[in-house]
Homo-oligomer: A and B are copies of this chain.
Amino acid sequence: MATQEIEKRGETGNNVEVERDSVHKEIAIVKMNRATGNKLSTDFMTELNTTLEKLENDDSCRGIILTSAIAGIFSLGLDGTEMYQKSLESTSAFWRSLQDFWMRLYGSKLATVAAINGHSPATGCQMAMSCDYRVMSEGPFGIGLPEVTVGLVAPFWFQEVMVKTCGERQTEMAVGLGTMFTPEEALKIGLVDEVVRPGDLISKAREQLLKWLKNPDRPRAMTKDMRRGPLLEKLRAQQEEDIATFNEYIHEKSVQESFGMSLESRKK
């Protein structure tokens, strides 16, 4: 992608803050900061994608900590307004922005650590699972793939990332029941790697990231690609089909109605 186009895409939003670690300059801290509780809209995901792309193209950056600037919320997942009473063109662009952002994050040559500072349902959980390591803050927070509880189905690539993280049996139960796990429960099934005090979150994430950065970048990235490449290729090969599946389901009358009721009830 031409630099000009990247710059242009960067203009679409300013809901992502990037700062370099004061000591370890090769580490960028990427903070999501969208007023809605980091709900993922088309524009927000495009901005996140562009941010990662820039950091990957910047030789001075070797790893990132993905976190949120909003107290108690990592990300509340997809922005429901993007799926309610929208055109097919619009929902297609929405889903594609999710696919593209996810493929960049999951396959990033950068080392990536999620510092999960709060609630992390659905795509919030998927973002965290797609990093190389997960540190979560203690507290009254939930993480999981609860799609089924609101009448939706977690896409195959969400489910398969969870299988790679927690194993098949835990995933089957987690997505079948739509379980939201406490940090301690998430630790127990391997959904997160560490649970720490809120004040230690970033320092613990940095500590882990430095472990990944001990190794030379190229073989580390090649090794990561060997583990994650097949799933990335699988989605890439059926990206259009995956969009069609999403559209078909989301535009059903009954699904739209339940979305409408859900969005209404949250306004109250």
Q: How far is the CA of A148 from the CA of B217 in the complex (A)?
A: 9
Which segment, of A33-41, A89-97, A116-124, A163-171, faces chain B? A163-171
The verdict on A177 contacting chain B, using a C-beta distance below 8 Å, is: yes
- A172 CB contact (under 8 Å) in B171, B215, B222, B227: B227
Known: A169-B166, A223-B148. A215 touches B177 (CB 8 A): yes
Contact indicator A216/B151 (Cβ below 8 Å): yes
Interface centre among A173, A175, A219, A220, by most B CB within 10 Å? A219
Contact indicator A153/B227 (Cβ below 8 Å): no
The verdict on A267 contacting chain B, using a C-beta distance below 8 Å, is: no
Interface centre among A159, A164, A227, by most B CB within 10 Å? A227
Residue-wise interface mask of A (42-59) relative to B, using a CB-CB cutoff of 8 A (1 in contact, 0 not): 000000000000000000
Nearest-neighbour CB distance to chain B for A223, whole angstroms, equals: 5
Contact indicator A227/B171 (Cβ below 8 Å): yes
Contact indicator A163/B153 (Cβ below 8 Å): no
Contact indicator B151/A226 (Cβ below 8 Å): no
Residue-wise interface mask of A (162-196) relative to B, using a CB-CB cutoff of 8 A (1 in contact, 0 not): 01111111011101111000000000001000000
Please give, as numbers and ranges, the residues of chain B lying within 8 Å of A215 by CB-CB distance: 148-149, 176-178
The verdict on A88 contacting chain B, using a C-beta distance below 8 Å, is: no
Contact indicator A147/B219 (Cβ below 8 Å): yes
The verdict on A242 contacting chain B, using a C-beta distance below 8 Å, is: no
Please give, as numbers and ranges, the residues of chain B lying within 8 Å of A226 by CB-CB distance: 153-154, 156, 159
Please give, as numbers and ranges, the residues of chain B lying within 8 Å of A148 by CB-CB distance: 215-216, 219-220, 223
Q: A148-B216, A151-B216, A167-B167 are in contact. List 16 more A-B contacts (CB 8 A).
A: A147-B219, A148-B215, A148-B220, A149-B215, A154-B223, A156-B226, A159-B226, A163-B168, A165-B168, A169-B190, A175-B223, A176-B212, A176-B215, A177-B211, A177-B214, A177-B215
Query: Top 4 A-B pairs ranked by shortest CB distance?
Result: A164-B168, A153-B222, A148-B219, A148-B215
